[in-house]
Amino acid sequence: MSSSSSLHGPNTAPMSASSNGNPNSSENNDIVSDHHHVSVVIVGAGPSGIATSALLNSHSVPNLVFEREDCCASLWKKRSYDRLNLHLAKGYCSLPLMPHSFRTSTFMSKYDFIAYLDEYVSRFNVKPRYCRHVDSAVCDEDEEIWKVKVTGPDQYEYYSSDFLVVATGENNQAIIPADLPGLESFTGKVVHACDYKNGESFKDKQVLVIGCGNSGMEISNDLADNGAHASLVIRSQMHVLSKEMVAIGMLLLDYLPVKIVDKFVSFLAKFRYQDLSSYGIHRPDQGPFLFKALTGKRPVIDRGTINKIRSKQIKVFPGIVRINSNSVEFNNGARQSFDAILLATGYKSVAHKWLKDYKYLLNDDGKPKGNYPNHWKGEKGVYCVA
């Protein structure tokens, strides 16, 4: 990556005569630049975005990080439930240049991970420009630069860059499923998982969790632990593994083909959990790691939910036919009334909405159009990190 001669170091931002030189100082919040050039613009200050900036800083490549929220790692800090732990061992969740402390637990709590990210930003001089919403990024093919328009706290800001890094990830906007007929008629409380913190306020309530990924399974468990009457809708196949099984599988993948690893890990899962089909849980034909590679769907990490399903502390229902007021009808003919519906239905990327020339990197769903392992590299100097 080349750097502009008009720049003086990493994380350069437009300065005014009254600026103290700190791009994050309050004096700079109303600065507008009609055209400010930087080598690399990074959109998103999640773990991937700050890691990219840190690596560029280590090579003295000038870069700017734009973040629409008022903090880094906002998904972890603002849109995650209290009991969330890393689902992978910490060795697979460290950022470049800074391994986790040996004192940290193998499966870190979200609070430990957040502290790690904050220390990372400080140590590597990553200075995101917060409360900056990227409105558009357009490739100027004649000048071979990216032109970026940003809405700041007060005014518009304009930038250009040689390279553009999309670091907004796939967990960008909450998905409200369109295939839940009658949801608008529900008279109880409807909450997306991004707004769920814990189950205390749902004690003694009938709560239906829609979505059987890691969030849905763990939130169901948390609701039951807090005295709620939790029910879970499982509409798709999934693998259920323990965190130890995932750790073993990840380690073996460094040495063995995925087919062999899948057979071994599937054997461990079947030995521990037996056949779960009578509880509405069906395993895919492909093994857990191949299934993830083909579909993007991760195995569910069991942290006590399966035992509660077996003991009927958590009910399992198939797909929903219709929601009518507070009553829900299911595919198996069952009906039940609920006080709340919790949507653990995931997120989607919206990068293709502001990345006007997304064809160089993304498909129409906002996901990388290239195939693994080269999916991160687009055309015309645009990249994605996740």
| Stretch 85-97: mean pLDDT | 91
Q: Is the pLDDT of residue 155 over 90?
A: no
Instruction: Express each pLDDT in 242-253 by its tens digit.
Output: 999 999 999 999
What Å distances lie between residue 246 and 66, 254, 269, 309, 322, CA to CA? Answer: 34, 13, 10, 21, 36
Predicted local distance difference test score (pLDDT) of residue 7: 33
Six token digits for residue 184: 């608008």
Rounded CA separation 10/6 (Å): 12
The pLDDT-based confidence of 33 (bands split at 50, 70, 90) is low
The pLDDT-based confidence of 362 (bands split at 50, 70, 90) is confident
Please give the domain boundaries of the chain with CATH numbers for all domains.
Answer: 26-172+349-384 (3.50.50.60), 174-347 (3.50.50.60)
Rounded CA separation 302/276 (Å): 13
pTM above 0.85, yes or no: no
Average pLDDT along the chain: 88
The pLDDT-based confidence of 10 (bands split at 50, 70, 90) is very low
Q: Is the pLDDT of residue 23 over 90?
A: no
For 90, the 3-state DSSP assignment is helix
Rounded CA separation 123/179 (Å): 46
Six token digits for residue 97: 């240049």
Q: Is the pLDDT of residue 24 over 80?
A: no
Residue 263, Cβ neighbours under 10 Å: how many? 12
| Stretch 192-201: mean pLDDT | 95
Strand pairing category for 347-348 and 173-174 = antiparallel
Rounded CA separation 295/267 (Å): 21
Predicted local distance difference test score (pLDDT) of residue 32: 54
Q: Which of 102-106, 115-119, 343-347, 372-376 has the lowest mean pLDDT?
A: 372-376
Predicted local distance difference test score (pLDDT) of residue 174: 86
Predicted local distance difference test score (pLDDT) of residue 34: 59
Q: Is the pLDDT of residue 111 over 70?
A: yes
DSSP secondary structure of 184-225: GG--SEEEEGGG---SGGGTT-EEEEE--SHHHHHHHHHHHH
Instruction: Express each pLDDT in 115-141 by its tens digit.
Output: 999 999 999 999 999 999 999 999 999
Instruction: Express each pLDDT in 275-287 by its tens digit.
Output: 999 999 999 999 9
Output phi, psi for 39, to 5 deg.
-65, -45
The pLDDT-based confidence of 304 (bands split at 50, 70, 90) is very high
Which residues sit opposite 189 in a β-bridge?
Answer: 340
DSSP state, residue 375? T
E strands present in the chain:
36-43, 63-66, 133-140, 145-151, 156-166, 173-174, 189-192, 206-210, 229-233, 240-241, 300-301, 314-317, 320-324, 327-330, 335-337, 340-343, 347-348, 382-384
Rounded CA separation 270/264 (Å): 10
Place of tokens 């079947």: 270
CA atoms within 13 A on the CB side of 107: 14
DSSP state, residue 172? S
Which residues sit opposite 41 in a β-bridge?
Answer: 64, 164
Instruction: Express each pLDDT in 331-353 by its tens digit.
Output: 999 999 999 999 999 888 888 88
Six token digits for residue 160: 């250009």
Cis preceding-peptide flag for 299 (omega within 30 of 0): no
Instruction: Express each pLDDT in 205-226 by its tens digit.
Output: 999 999 999 999 999 999 999 9
For 361, the 3-state DSSP assignment is coil
Residue 136, Cβ neighbours under 10 Å: how many? 13
Six token digits for residue 63: 């870069």
**Amino acid at the residue 81:** Y
Predicted local distance difference test score (pLDDT) of residue 3: 36
Rounded CA separation 3/293 (Å): 36
